[in-house]
Structure 1
Amino acid sequence: MSDYILGDIGSFNDFFCRRIKPELRPLDLDESHLMAPCDGLLKVYPITDGLVIPVKQSIFTIADLLKDGELAASFEGGYCLVYRLCVSHYHRYAYFDSGEKSADVVIPGFYHTVQPVALEAGPVFTENARQYTVIDTKSFGRCVQMEVGAMLVGRIVNEEMAPAAVMRGSEKGHFEYGGSTIILLIPKNVAIINDDILKASESGVETEVKLGECCGTSGS
């Protein structure tokens, strides 16, 4: 409890999305580094043949995820980074890089659980509510940062949904109560993912990361 700022708690949701003391989430502001936008369990997928595997037992095309075939095609050969937040994780998230963002795209959906038993019924991310932002970033080209709601998450709360200049590390928003997911789509030949994260992902293992940590570097 001593890690958090608790002076303005008026409800359970206030407590759930409480702010952590800034010194406990130092931000990697090096422009050549790929900064984690949130706390979570990270798995990285190369985007090949239009397919990614964001969660176990479900396969999605990028076009299904975005509902935009032209935008999806721009990520062929790039990376899909999936940060899975558990209830115990810090539920505020930041912009992973500076740049110019377009208006948020909101895709309504049903709030389903991300538990494995639910995946037997069908692809979770084709049903879950989600919002995404296209960002012309300073270091990684045109990317997408997406928030996906899960069971018990009543709202994805983004601070700025209109076109705007954004800064690396500034707060993008937060999830209200429940488990959630952040997805980054990175185009081809602009990022080198940390080798330990790639190797773990190839083995089907998630890597625990924290908001502000370096997950890779810019480069081909």
Structure 2
Amino acid sequence: MSFNCYSRRFIMSSTESPAIRFLYNTRLGRLMLKALVRPQFSKIAYAYLSSPLSWWLINYYIRKHDINMSEYPSEKYRSFNDFFTRKRAFSIPEHADNLFIAPCDGFLSVHEISDERTFFIKLARYNLDSLLKDSELSQKYQNGCCLIFRLAPHNYHRYIFIDDGEIVKTRAIDGVLHCVRPEICTNLPVYVQNVREYALIKSEHFGDIIQMEIGALLVGRICNHFSQGTVRKFTEKGYFEFGGSTILLLIEKDRLLLADEIKSAKNHEIPVRSGQILGKKA
């Protein structure tokens, strides 16, 4: 999807669904979209998806997104949200202390943070000050590394801590829930409009890390388990309820050596799995 400034219309690719075309390119659709991204609608959607009435959506969702359910324990889910936040077991590698891991399943892109405290994601420019709402904190990450993990509908929506450490501070920032699909981000600074939460973690091996969770359209809640105290690598940090979502990591300069195959993500997205080794301590 791209935006034509002269016609004031979104130009859709052939892969866009009829619903997306309707919402972005018709007057009625845009009015509906404005209502859909309001918190009140998110609350109504959350209530329905958490109720037994939503149970019928589960099999449809599995088929539509070709989800491999053999990775998950066989159990009866009480609601769609119960299914969406399902747990999955995974193995923890030995001697992983100095290794840098992915916090979640998703599609990873890697970006250098410029001296001007901006970085680019699919041609859209973001300012760390406005993202964090803390200009002093954003200074710590000048010339550092920003890793963005975009979770697709078929992905596992729970996420973990990437290192042992201590939570220094947490912050929740209100915003307008909106879509985080990368073709939309090409033209609109979507992230700065979104509900987001982040933790500043003094980690044992990678310096002061920021791990941020970003909500999207129809995400009722970002559910984090910890707001303070000591945290352990591979421990679950939290989970997203229904909706496409994104996790962002900020790493200080000279703290991380990315694996060669991950460096290629600077130019495009690559699929990764929760706990996958992405690099090591610098």
TM-score with structure 1 setting the length? 0.91
Partner AA of 1:5 in structure 2:
P
C-alpha contact (below 8 Å) 1:6/1:18 kept by paired residues: no
Once the two structures are superposed, residues 73-100 of structure 1 have per-residue CA deviations (whole angstroms, 9 ceiling, x without a partner) of: 0001110000110011000000011100
Map of 1:171 onto structure 2:
236
Map of 1:212 onto structure 2:
275
Q: Report the CA distance shift for 1:157/1:138 in structure 2 as closer, same or farther (over 3 A).
A: same
Q: Report the CA distance shift for 1:175/1:131 in structure 2 as closer, same or farther (over 3 A).
A: same
Higher RCO (CA 8 Å, separation ≥ 6 residues): 1
Flag the structure with larger Rg: 2
Map of 1:11 onto structure 2:
79
Partner AA of 1:136 in structure 2:
K
* Structure 1: segments with no counterpart, 5+ residues: none
Number of aligned positions between the proteins: 213
1:188 is the counterpart of 2:253: yes
Identity %: 39
* Selected match of 1:141 from 207, 227, 233: 207
- Counterpart CA distance in 1 for 2:252 and 2:273 is 23
Q: Which residues of 2 match residues 113-128 of structure 1 at below 5 A?
A: 113-116=179-182, 118-119=184-185, 122-128=188-194
- Counterpart CA distance in 2 for 1:148 and 1:186 is 17
RMSD: 1.7
- Counterpart CA distance in 2 for 1:61 and 1:148 is 15
C-alpha contact (below 8 Å) 1:109/1:130 kept by paired residues: yes
Determine which structure has the larger strand proportion and give its number.
1
Equivalent position SS for 2:257: strand
Shift of 1:6: 4.3
Equivalent position SS for 1:97: coil
C-alpha contact (below 8 Å) 1:34/1:215 kept by paired residues: yes
Map of 2:263 onto structure 1:
198
- Counterpart CA distance in 2 for 1:166 and 1:105 is 17
- Counterpart CA distance in 1 for 2:88 and 2:95 is 19
Once the two structures are superposed, residues 146-191 of structure 1 have per-residue CA deviations (whole angstroms, 9 ceiling, x without a partner) of: 0000112111000112x11000000000000111100000001110
Shift of 1:5: 2.5
- Counterpart CA distance in 1 for 2:89 and 2:125 is 37
1:64 is the counterpart of 2:130: yes
Map of 1:84 onto structure 2:
150
Shift of 1:195: 1.5
* Structure 2: segments with no counterpart, 5+ residues: 1-68
Once the two structures are superposed, residues 176-220 of structure 1 have per-residue CA deviations (whole angstroms, 9 ceiling, x without a partner) of: 01111000000011101112211232xx2111110011111111x
Equivalent position SS for 1:104: strand
Partner AA of 1:184 in structure 2:
L
Q: Report the CA distance shift for 1:85/1:29 in structure 2 as closer, same or farther (over 3 A).
A: farther
Once the two structures are superposed, residues 34-65 of structure 1 have per-residue CA deviations (whole angstroms, 9 ceiling, x without a partner) of: 11110111111111121112x32321011121
1:38 is the counterpart of 2:101: no
Partner AA of 2:245 in structure 1:
S
